[in-house]
Amino acid sequence: MKLSFTAPLTRIATLKRDTGEVDPDGHPILSEVQIELHPWPMGWSDWLDRIFPAPVVYVDQKPVEDAAARGEYAGQRAAIMLARCAPDDLFDARPPADDSKRGNWEAYGKALLAELRAAHFVDGDLLHLVGEIAKVNRGAGKLGKAG
């Protein structure tokens, strides 16, 4: 292709928390975390859907909706999407070496969620980051040097 953007697209996602402390003027002191996000390669989300599909639970040989399994999967998938869009050094867990097996992606998603929980992230933080990931993948961000 002869056309190209001159710089990568990035978006800074900011999460803020009330520390429970106040400054001398009585204003709440906030703790802030910022993560620089970049879009994933074209087609990556479709590839992930094929390799790491939602779980199917069968009862009497018929597929049924399992809300608990679906919720767990959604969290794992969101954590995997975050890891793909965040700086490489954000997480200790690494993507599976054999990326062709669903179970490897499930284990990776669980490891990422464990790291997020250990860092005191909550579900709402992950939901906010998924929204920011959607924005950067739609082209809403700042052109500039990534990482």
The pLDDT of residue 8 is 74
User: pLDDT at residue 41 above 70?
Assistant: yes
The pLDDT of residue 128 is 95
Q: What is the mean pLDDT of residues 54-63?
A: 89
Q: Across the chain, which distance is largest between two alpha carbons, in Å?
A: 65
Mean pLDDT of the chain: 89
User: pLDDT at residue 146 above 70?
Assistant: no
Q: What is the mean pLDDT of residues 19-37?
A: 92
Chain centroid to CA 123: how far?
A: 11
User: pLDDT at residue 129 above 60?
Assistant: yes
Q: Using a pLDDT cut of 90, give the percent of the chain over it.
A: 66
Output the pTM of the full model: 0.84
Q: What is the mean pLDDT of residues 124-130?
A: 95
3-state secondary structure string across 38-51: CCCCCCHHHHHHHH
The model's confidence at residue 147, banded by pLDDT at 50, 70 and 90, is very low
36, 146 Cβ separation under 8 angstroms: yes
User: pLDDT at residue 21 above 60?
Assistant: yes
